[in-house]
DNA sequence: CCGAATCCGTAAAGATACTG
DNA sequence: CAGTATCTTTACGGATTCGG
């Protein structure tokens, strides 16, 4: 995936934007959300995939690796046949939850306004 | 720019991920941050550019349009020569501030851990 | 001159198809 | 089952041009 780092000379490697950029890609937040609300302690690759019908296996795989790199999930490999890999949220991910919840609530309060604002400017010719 | 919408069948047009994905691109948060801490009521294009030495004019222009589309900033054009365009945060952007601040604080508390976690896995050969 | 729009190139993100 | 190899699309940067 590469997951390149956001860089500029004013805030070299600005942690805020770098952390957020990697969390706010297409799938990462959804993976965290699904792991969280599953109630289970951990989930397997295919379990996650079933909860996300539209994600490709490749993107699920890469998203999980990135989340692991950043310490939001753990990845436990069982050397069995067929292979088994289990994913679980870390404390770091759980500590993010209250903030994500407040963002979620803000989004719900503003989503209609924002989406209709977007249409105003986008659909000049549509 | 295209700024395509995040879509999946489970949460069609999920507002949280869509709102966050557009805010967490390479430059948007920095623009909001600079407008906010400037203290001024509004800023001109070149003023913003000077605060962001690494952004291209193209990306600044596009970022500002997207932020305007989503109602986070206003764009006021003065028909003068040379032309003048002023940008200001809206109430919507300001209402986001407390949440962004808590995210910022969380990022600062965790940045060292996250960045060192990343290095562990990334710099296998570097 | 300021604030873009446009064209073009690169690299990263992401989808489709295949494998140990 | 849990990924990788290959291909397409999008984001982003640089240079140039343009209308006021």
Per-residue pLDDT tens over the stretch A59-96: 999 999 999 999 999 999 998 888 999 999 999 999 99
Query: pLDDT tier at B103 (50, 70, 90 boundaries)?
Result: confident
Confidence class for position B4, pLDDT limits 50, 70, 90: confident
pLDDT at residue A104 is higher than 70? yes
Q: Which nucleotides on strand D sit less than 7 A from a protein beta carbon?
A: 1-6, 10-16, 19-20
- Report pLDDT for A55: 95
The pLDDT assigned to A124 comes to 33
- Nearest chain B residue to A121 by CA: give it: B69
Q: What is the 3-state secondary structure (H, E, C) of A47-62?
A: HHHHHCCCCCHHHHHH
Residues B70-84: what's their mean pLDDT? 94
List bases, strand C, within 7 Å of protein CB.
1-7, 11-18, 20
Structure tokens that stand for A100 in this block: 């994500």
Distance CA B119, CA B116 (A): 5
User: By three-state DSSP, how is residue B56 classified?
Assistant: coil
Q: Is B69 on the interface with A (CB under 8 A)?
A: yes
User: Average pLDDT for residues B99-110, to the nearest whole number?
Assistant: 90
Tell me the per-residue pLDDT of A2-24, one tens digit each, with 9 for 90 and over.
678 899 999 998 988 999 999 99
Q: Which residues of B touch A92 (CB under 8 A)?
A: 110, 113-114
pLDDT at B110 over 50: yes
Task: Give the closest-approach CA distance of B65 to chain A in angstroms.
Answer: 10
- A65 exposure class (CB count in 10 Å sphere: 0-12, 13-18, 19+): middle
A83 touches strand C (CB under 7 A): yes
- Nearest chain B residue to A103 by CA: give it: B99
Q: Is B87 exposed, middle or buried, given 0-12, 13-18 or 19+ CB atoms closer than 10 A?
A: buried
CA angle centred on B10, ends B7 and B12, rounded to 5°: 40
- 8 Å CB contact of B21 and A23: no
Contacts of A95 in chain B (CB under 8 A): 106, 110
Residue A85: count other Cβ atoms within 10 Å of its Cβ.
15
Query: How confident is the prediction for chain A on average, in pLDDT?
Result: 90
As given in the structure block, the two tokens for residue A93 are 């991910």
* Distance between the alpha carbon (CA) of A71 and the C1' atom of D16, Å: 45
């Amino acid at each position: 995936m590469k997951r390149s780092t956001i860089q500029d000379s004013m805030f070299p490697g600005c942690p805020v934007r770098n952390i957020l950029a990697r969390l706010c890609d297409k799938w990462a937040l959804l993976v965290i959300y699904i792991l969280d609300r599953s109630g289970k302690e951990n989930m397997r690759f295919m379990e996650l995939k079933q909860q996300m019908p539209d994600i490709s296996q490749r993107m699920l795989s890469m998203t999980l690796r990135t989340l692991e790199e950043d310490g939001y999930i753990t990845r436990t490999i069982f050397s069995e046949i067929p292979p088994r890999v289990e994913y679980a949220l870390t404390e770091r991910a759980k500590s993010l939850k209250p903030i994500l919840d407040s963002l979620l609530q803000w989004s719900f309060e503003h989503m209609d306004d924002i989406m209709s604002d977007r249409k105003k400017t986008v659909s000049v010719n549509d």
